[in-house]
Amino acid sequence: MNLDIRVPIGLLFLSLGGLLAGFGLVTHFSNPTMYARSLDINVNLWWGLVMIAFGAGMFYFGRRAVAASPEVPTPTEP
């Protein structure tokens, strides 16, 4: 089995970052007073975008490494 650990970690960060960025977008327009304590910076949106970028990079480099690795032939029984 040829699975690089970066692929599932990238998918995890992509999905969680998408949820966090989506929450940041929804609350930005529906409840703008929510971010008054953070100097009106939508931290959910920004960190969601950072997590999406990190997850996309991990997924890309993991898939690229799997595609570049040579196939190892399985030994046959005599």
Q: Answer whether residue 62 is part of any domain.
A: yes
In tens, the pLDDT along 48-73 reads 999 999 999 999 999 888 777 666 66
In tens, the pLDDT along 20-39 reads 999 999 998 888 788 888 88
Note the pTM of the prediction, 2 decimals.
0.79
Here the tokens at position 8 are 């599932």
Q: Answer whether residue 72 is part of any domain.
A: no
Q: Answer whether residue 23 is part of any domain.
A: yes
Handedness of CA 9, 7, 19, 33 (dihedral sign): positive
Q: Answer whether residue 78 is part of any domain.
A: no
Here the tokens at position 73 are 């032939």
